[in-house]
Amino acid sequence: MIGSSYFLGTGYILNQVGPSAFLGYILGGLITFLTMCCLAELSTSDPLEGSFVSYSVKYVSSSWGCGVGWSYWFSWLVFIPSECLAAGILMHAFWPEISTSHFTILFGALITLINFLHVKVFGEMEFWLAMIKIFLIVSFSVLALLIFLGALPDYNPDFLGGRYFFNEGGLFPNGFAVILISMVVLIANFQGSEIVGLAASESHEPLKYIPKILKTLSYRIVGTYLIPTLLLALIFPWNSAGLSESVFVDALDKYGIKTYGKVFSLLITAGAISCANSGLYAAVRCLHSLATHRMAPKFLIPINNMGIPVFATIVTCAGIWIVLISSYLLPSSQLYANLLAVSGFTGSICWISICWAQFNFRRKLIRDELPAPSIYKIKFFPYLTLCAIFIQVVCLFVILLSPTLRMSFYIGVPVILIPIILYKCTRHGRPIL
């Protein structure tokens, strides 16, 4: 889940929202938790290869499943380049004589190579990259807390209190509504958690491990998103945040911790590689699932002896490289914000579909007078499910109020509607060519 979109994109969120950005992460964490509860119930009650694409087909409709599948695939098609671009922005700060675009292409080549290797390589690499990300988050949180308390005399001997929390325009310097407007970008920072559903079919004992993962998800959200963001807002002025550098590095530099700031900035690229790597894994499996449902060309179905849907990987990589090459055409910070917003919008469609499928699944059990799920079930049905759907739908429409982000709405809506229309206009069971 944690990529450079968090380490770099949080600067955009903080600049747009103000110190109350941590409230946006609370709301984003709530949406994530509820959506993953819905996915856990579906995954443990009715395990299906293809996860949420298959659940959308089975419990909503075939045409909606087609739209969701292609929309989700597209969300990664733009999110992966945003991760490569973010890594490029960070590396450009180290070597300004090399353009951001060149670094972006380099990271794109690395991620492409990894996903043509055996799936065991992917899993092993993700483990070590995740360890680096956890180290970064924990180390920043400890340093930020010490800075806030004035416990680092060589860097900041004073207790900061609410200096940056309330004295720079207050908690909501740009109004409360901007939290909802920026949610589509913020939710992109949480996307990737649904990959557990796609990976379940390739893992051992998914019915055992998915509930365990879910039980710790709320703690992970608090530890990896909420605490660091809250501490960041307490030690760094929101109106100084931006996309030219990681706001976490800017905060360390502000207090003279520049040597570790450079190390921190360099290690953030591990987050970019990890998140983009996972995203490509998810996009390929999603496209393969569409093909198995005869919603994509049949040549995408074969899997080689290394466990890779090779043709689905080739097609996905080709789409990613088309977006990557466009990094030459637009300013990096402008392109990055728009890619993140489009990915957040289309990814939210997938999350809404997960909740919708769970809602219909449980209603079917009630209607058929069947027992409730035994391994895991979401509590307070249907209220929490409907709450998750409602909040996300509101966030998708509120984005129209933002002149800089509404383009994601204009792109995201056709991305889901066009596959649905094409599916309805073709004979059912025939692949969309």
Joined tokens for residue 121? 């390589």
Please, which pLDDT band fits residue 427 given cuts at 50, 70 and 90?
A: low
**DSSP states along 368-405:** TTPPPPSS---SSTTHHHHHHHHHHHHHHHHGGG-TTT
Residue 384: what pLDDT? 92
DSSP class of residue 238?
A: G
Please, which pLDDT band fits residue 386 given cuts at 50, 70 and 90?
A: very high
- Residue pair 121/114 in contact by the 8 Å Cβ criterion: yes
Average pLDDT over residues 15-39: 86
Question: How do residues 271-320 score in pLDDT, each as one tens digit?
Answer: 778 888 888 888 888 898 888 888 888 888 888 877 778 899 899 989 88
Residue 431: what pLDDT? 43
Average pLDDT over residues 357-385: 88
Question: How do residues 51-65 score in pLDDT, each as one tens digit?
Answer: 778 888 899 988 998
The yes-or-no verdict on residue 432 having pLDDT over 60 is no
Q: Would residue 211 count as lying in a domain?
A: yes
CA–CA gap between residue 128 and residue 105 (Å, rounded): 23
Average pLDDT over residues 366-373: 85
Residue 430: what pLDDT? 47
Neighbours of 94 (CB within 10 A): 12
Chain center to CA of 109: 21
Sign of the dihedral through C-alpha 26, 31, 36, 38: positive
Which residues pair with residue 152 across a beta bridge? 156
Neighbours of 120 (CB within 10 A): 10
Which residues pair with residue 156 across a beta bridge? 152
Share of the chain above pLDDT 90, in %: 10
Can you give the residue range of the structural domain that contains 142? 4-425
Q: Would residue 431 count as lying in a domain?
A: no
Q: Higher model confidence: residue 89 or residue 34?
A: 34
Q: Would residue 187 count as lying in a domain?
A: yes
Q: Would residue 432 count as lying in a domain?
A: no
CA dihedral 207, 210, 215, 217 (to 10 degrees): -170
Please, which pLDDT band fits residue 390 given cuts at 50, 70 and 90?
A: very high
Residue 335: what pLDDT? 66
Please, which pLDDT band fits residue 202 given cuts at 50, 70 and 90?
A: low
For the ranges 31-40, 156-165, 345-354, 380-389, which has the lowest average pLDDT?
156-165
Average pLDDT over residues 357-382: 87
* Residue-wise burial string across 247-262, b where 16 or more C-beta atoms lie within 10 A, e elsewhere: bbbbbbbbbebeeebe
Q: Higher model confidence: residue 344 or residue 149?
A: 149
Share of the chain above pLDDT 70, in %: 89
Residue 95: what pLDDT? 83
The yes-or-no verdict on residue 354 having pLDDT over 80 is yes
Q: Would residue 137 count as lying in a domain?
A: yes
For residue 283, which of 269, 296, 267 has the smallest C-alpha distance? 296
For residue 312, which of 282, 275, 278 has the smallest C-alpha distance? 282
Q: Higher model confidence: residue 386 or residue 113?
A: 386
The Cα-based distances of 89 to 113, 320, 355 in angstroms read: 21, 18, 35
Burial category of 380 from C-beta neighbours within 10 Å (exposed 0-12, middle 13-18, buried 19 and up): exposed
Q: Would residue 383 count as lying in a domain?
A: yes
The yes-or-no verdict on residue 395 having pLDDT over 60 is yes
Average pLDDT over residues 407-419: 88
The yes-or-no verdict on residue 385 having pLDDT over 90 is yes
The yes-or-no verdict on residue 357 having pLDDT over 90 is yes
Residue 302: what pLDDT? 84
The yes-or-no verdict on residue 26 having pLDDT over 50 is yes
The yes-or-no verdict on residue 333 having pLDDT over 60 is no
Joined tokens for residue 404? 């800089």
Q: Domain tally for the chain?
A: 1
Neighbours of 128 (CB within 10 A): 10
CA angle 84, 253, 133 (to 5 degrees): 45
The yes-or-no verdict on residue 75 having pLDDT over 80 is yes
Q: Would residue 433 count as lying in a domain?
A: no
Average pLDDT over residues 167-177: 78
For residue 402, which of 355, 333, 341 has the smallest C-alpha distance? 341
CA–CA gap between residue 349 and residue 35 (Å, rounded): 12
Summary mean pLDDT of the chain:
81
Q: Would residue 430 count as lying in a domain?
A: no
Can you list the alpha helix ranges (DSSP code H) found in 300-331? 310-325
Average pLDDT over residues 215-227: 77
For residue 338, which of 403, 416, 273, 421 has the smallest C-alpha distance? 403
Burial category of 376 from C-beta neighbours within 10 Å (exposed 0-12, middle 13-18, buried 19 and up): middle
223 Cβ neighbours under 8 A, 6+ residues apart? 137
CATH classification at residue 85: 1.20.1740.10
CA–CA gap between residue 245 and residue 29 (Å, rounded): 25
Please, which pLDDT band fits residue 396 given cuts at 50, 70 and 90?
A: confident
